[in-house]
Amino acid sequence: MKSKIQKNPVLFLILILIYSVTTYAQNDCEVKLEAISGTYEGGCKKGLAEGQGTAKGEDTYVGDFKKGFPHGTGTYTWANGDVYVGEFKKGLKEGEGKLTVDLGGGQKKEQTGFWSKDRYIGQSKNPYEIINQTPNVTSIRITETENTADDGNALFIEIQHKGRVQSSPSFGLSVNAGSFTNRFPQGNITKVLVSQFPFNFTMNYMGETVTFQINMETSWKVTVDYNK
């Protein structure tokens, strides 16, 4: 017995055309991250990978896509065996996840925590935190910077009084977590070479204190303004 679709040749033809167009669109669905742009199976929208999918190229990604990029949660496997499971945004690691690095010889290293723009921040989602400060600390500015001396990750600490940079100020620095290897003046700035993150420390200047925690392993400029 023929079905209603088979009895209606026009409807049958329309369904075949819809299936053909959908199949073509699926095969022509673009993945915009070059390393995984070989083959793709999954959701598609306006010619771009969208929704759940699997993309394989030099590397492999299985998970959420948006506008052709890994976006949401998924698993990214590199050709060398390293694996990241977690959150993505526009093709970059962004948010919480776990990176497993294959060291060879059956050994692996795991790094869990948070990422920002493909860079590991640490166990906290914030690159740094100001834990507390006393009333006469009026302003704190922390900005990522470059250590041109190439001697490791460093803090460049500047002290101001009502907006004026203090010349070679003396201040106390006590470490609550992490460690540093050296501390020395560079003009009006004190350079602190940090060897272990997260680096939690307290500054004491003229009886006023500030406690910071630096989570992201990079160099930072720290400017503290006092009104005392």
Alpha helices, DSSP H only, in the chain?
Answer: 4-7, 9-27
8 pLDDT more than 70? no
- Give dist(CA 109, CA 91) in Å, integer: 23
Mean pLDDT of all residues in the chain? 90
Residue-range domain boundaries for the chain: 30-122, 128-226
| pLDDT of amino acid 42 | 98
- What pLDDT digit, counting tens, does each position of 91-128 carry? 999 999 999 999 988 899 999 999 999 999 999 999 99
Residue 11: its pLDDT value, please? Answer: 46
| Predicted structure pTM score | 0.76
Q: Please write the tens of the pLDDT for every residue from 189-225.
A: 999 999 999 999 999 999 999 999 999 999 999 999 9
- Whether the per-residue pLDDT at 13 is higher than 90: the answer is no
Q: What is the pLDDT of residues 20-75, one digit of tens each?
A: 434 333 458 999 999 999 999 999 999 999 999 999 999 999 999 999 999 999 99
| Residues written for the chain | 228
For residues 156-165, average pLDDT: 96
Domains 30-122 and 128-226 share a fold: no
pLDDT band (50, 70, 90) for residue 228: confident
The yes or no reply on domain 30-122 and CATH 2.60.40 is no
128-226 to CATH, choices 3.40.50, 1.10.10, 2.60.40, 1.10.520: 2.60.40
Among 216, 185, 182, 222, CA closest to 199? 216
How high is the pLDDT of residue 168?
85
CA distance linking residue 214 with residue 220, whole number of Å? 9
